[in-house]
Amino acid sequence: MRRILITGAAGFIGYHLAKAVGENGDSVTGVDNLSDYYDVNLKRARLAQLEQCGNFKFLNIDIADRKTMAELFRESRFEVVVNLAAQAGVRYSLKNPYSYIDSNIVGFTNVLEGCRHHQVNHLVFASSSSIYGMNSKIPFAVSHNADHPVSLYAASKKANELMAHTYAHLYGLPCTGLRFFTVYGPWGRPDMAYFSFTKSIIKGIPIDVYNFGNMKRDFTYIDDIVDGVMRVMEKLPQPNPGWDTGNPDPGSSYAPYKIYNMGNNHPVELTKFIETLEEKLGRKAIKNMLPMQAGDIPVTCADIKDVFMDVGFKPSTSIEVGMGKFVDWYLSYYKIK
């Protein structure tokens, strides 16, 4: 039984991962600060599910708390750390930039320091497809330059990748970064479009459709993502023997460091996505067509060749099946008939 730390365990991906890892027989410590960025009751409901497992322990900790995080690492001696705690959201970063610095920069530094000083075998951390910014070459590949983010959220995630690489270089800490594309499914995040669209369609409230619907997103179902993360946890990153200082590959390194895209490789048009949601709900959406919003990007599409070759990650859940499962959960959780 390995000792595994999952930060952001009350979050969407964190909850599903903690559940799967615990069911796999490992001992899981989950930390989360239960921020009110979105419904805390939903976070508590996720934790209530996890606390039914005998090998899960929850600690209400803010990863930005340097002293408490140092004590946690010193006392627990984790073998694997999965850092999913972060201030999420592109649009929210326009309103509250300091929360991104506190959680995503200061907090991640505390995670890195804990891993460094206590011989953690593998740090897996969440990055984001947002770091590709205004890149127009599709699909996005980890070998592409990603130095032009268009939101502070994206910039903070790019900073996480650079910080992790530094620790891999200086201290030999094996680090794997995962650029998540649009993840959806049961127990999802209320700030995500598919969640808010569902709520509004049921209530007959108009939904805001940006860029007049001319958007594509690489929607990836949560079970596929969890399968991929668990596969990556077992794969220690190795130095790339062919890494060229004259033509450096951004996705690998001479250090024990690797970056993967975690997406579906099948982007769905926003209009098609809304039609699928309408079909599953049996109701029509009232659409408020709007121009592109600051910080947004028109298309996301993941090149997942590297992660498929290395760990066999290959999402298989269609948008129709995945949205059907989400809608079923939503109607049940919120007791809607």
The set of catalytic residues is 153
The CA-CA-CA angle for residues 318, 22, 187, to 5°, reads 45
Closest CA to 201 of 327, 35, 78, 82: 327
Residue 246 CB contacts under 8 Å (≥ 6 apart), including other chains: none
> 20 near 230, Cβ under 8 Å?
yes
Strands (E), the chain: 3-7, 27-32, 56-60, 80-83, 122-128, 175-180, 183-184, 207-209, 216-217, 220-221, 257-262, 268-269, 287-289
Which two three-digit tokens encode residue 266?
A: 């099948």
What angle do the packed helices 270-281 and 193-203 form, to 10 degrees?
Answer: 50
Question: CA–CA distance from 225 to each of 177, 278, 295 (Å)?
Answer: 14, 25, 25
Residue 96 CB contacts under 8 Å (≥ 6 apart), including other chains: 87
Closest CA to 161 of 65, 79, 86: 86
What angle do the packed helices 108-117 and 66-76 form, to 10 degrees?
Answer: 30
Asked if the bond preceding 186 is cis, omega within 30° of 0, the reply is no
> 87 near 99, Cβ under 8 Å?
yes
